[in-house]
């Protein structure tokens, strides 16, 4: 009552000061923190949201110069989104919680200038933790890597065999030069500080191949080994651009390949069950794809309905995403590091 009586006879400025001072004093006595408002609260981290698109696989184009017989994302469209629209979509994804972007295809290096624009924007404007590219390796040039390495964390190259004739049977070009290019690209990655990754699809043409010596020599930090997958509506019969049924391996053949290579530290296998709905896929129109059970379906474009609404229209199994190792050490190191396969490096997983 005494303080109230006093304040009624004090001008407005000093009155406000005394009020704040009393509140601070009370907070000290009562041992409770004092805050005038919540403006200075730390910002919410969108990637902590239950359905945040933490890691997105983006296909800016379906166009490809190879004809791999098991491909589930064939070049049925020649559409490429205007760069400003692509950037707008990437910003929406970042704001929704995206931390890692993987650019795949098609063959991304058919559009090297587009890749440069996307990488620079995602690193300099959006500050993404990690950007990776998956390529068949046929169009990668040292000059491009040298000029763009500061924005690229991971470069993954697909290699299904170290036998030129087997690669031809699969559809990976007809010049037999895949393996020579692969070792050259791995060397460039080491030179320019880019993490080198390898992807292999186990199919009827390579399941009995022993790749141990070549993998240890290439020394990728991560070797993803996929079981050949049928996606309804994409590669499931003779009416599609690809018919992958003749490329499917039996469970016994899959286990045989896995058992032969599982001792390699960088080896990361993914069977059909693990892959089904654990990837968040974004097509050339920026629609999410659902390649789980049944026909592949797609959402409306995030450019039209936003990220959250588009994600509600597909199934993304976050639990499977985590269990298959979707969160890993995906950031480019400040200095060159030894790979896991060569005995160094780290596989410490990032916090979810």
> Rounded distance, CA 284 to CA 189, Å?
27
CA separation for the pair 108, 123 (Å, rounded): 18
Residue 122 is among the residues annotated as catalytic for this protein: no
User: Which two tokens mark 47?
Assistant: 């990637």
User: What are phi and psi for residue 184, nearest 5 degrees?
Assistant: -65, -45
Distance CA 23, CA 148 (A): 55
- The helix/strand/coil state of 168 is helix
- Known catalytic residue: 68? yes
270 three-class SS: strand
Ramachandran assignment for 52, one of left (phi > 0), alpha (psi -120 to 50 degrees), beta (any other): beta
Q: Given 64, 189, 228, 287, which residue is catalytic?
A: 64
Q: How many Cα atoms within 13 Å fall on the side-chain side of residue 161?
A: 21
- Give CA–CA dist 68/238, Å, rounded: 15
> What is the pairing mode between strands 267-270 and 222-227?
parallel
Residue 71 annotated to the active site: yes
Q: Which of 15, 22, 71, 159 is catalytic?
A: 71
Catalytic residue among 15, 22, 68, 149: 68
Helices 112-120/83-95 angle, 10° precision: 40
Sign of the C-alpha dihedral, residues 124, 127, 129, 131? Answer: negative
CB 284 within 8 A of CB 80: yes
List the structure tokens of 119. 């990488």
Measured distance CA(13)–CA(15) in Å, rounded: 5
Cβ atoms of residues 128 and 163 within 8 Å: no
Among residues 349, 282, 351, 266, which one has the least CA distance to residue 314? 282
Annotated catalytic residues are: 64, 68, 71
């Amino acid at each position: 009552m005494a303080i109230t009586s006093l304040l009624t006879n004090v001008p407005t400025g000093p009155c406000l000061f005394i009020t704040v001072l009393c509140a601070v004093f009370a907070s000290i006595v009562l041992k409770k923190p004092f805050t005038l408002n919540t403006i200075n609260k730390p910002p919410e981290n969108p990637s902590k949201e239950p359905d945040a698109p933490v890691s997105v696989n983006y296909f800016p184009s379906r166009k490809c110069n190879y004809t791999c017989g098991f491909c589930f994302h064939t070049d049925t469209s020649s559409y490429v989104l205007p760069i400003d629209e692509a950037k707008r979509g990437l910003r929406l994804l970042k704001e929704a919680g995206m931390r890692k972007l993987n650019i795949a295809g098609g063959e991304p290096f058919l559009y090297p200038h587009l890749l440069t624009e996307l990488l620079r924007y995602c690193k300099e404007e959006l500050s993404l933790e990690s950007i990776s590219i998956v390529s068949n390796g046929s169009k990668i040039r040292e000059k491009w890597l040298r000029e763009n390495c500061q924005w690229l964390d991971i470069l993954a190259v697909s290699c299904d065999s170290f036998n030129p004739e087997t690669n031809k049977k699969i559809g990976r070009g007809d010049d037999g030069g895949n393996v020579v290019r692969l070792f050259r690209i791995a060397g460039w990655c080491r030179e320019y500080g880019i993490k080198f990754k390898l992807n292999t699809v186990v199919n009827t043409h390579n399941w009995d191949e022993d790749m141990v010596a070549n993998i240890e020599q290439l020394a990728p930090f991560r070797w993803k080994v996929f079981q050949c997958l049928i996606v309804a509506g994409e590669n499931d019969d003779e009416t599609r651009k690809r018919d992958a049924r003749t490329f499917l391996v039996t469970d016994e053949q899959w286990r045989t390949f896995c058992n032969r290579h599982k001792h390699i530290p960088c080896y990361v296998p993914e069977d059909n069950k693990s892959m089904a709905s654990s990837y968040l896929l974004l097509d050339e129109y920026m629609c999410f794809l659902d390649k789980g059970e049944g026909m592949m379906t797609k959402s409306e474009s995030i450019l039209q309905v936003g990220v959250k609404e588009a994600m509600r229209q597909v199934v993304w199994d976050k639990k499977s995403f985590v269990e298959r190792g979707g969160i890993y050490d995906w950031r480019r190191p400040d200095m060159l590091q030894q790979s896991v396969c060569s005995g160094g490096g780290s596989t410490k997983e990032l916090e979810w």
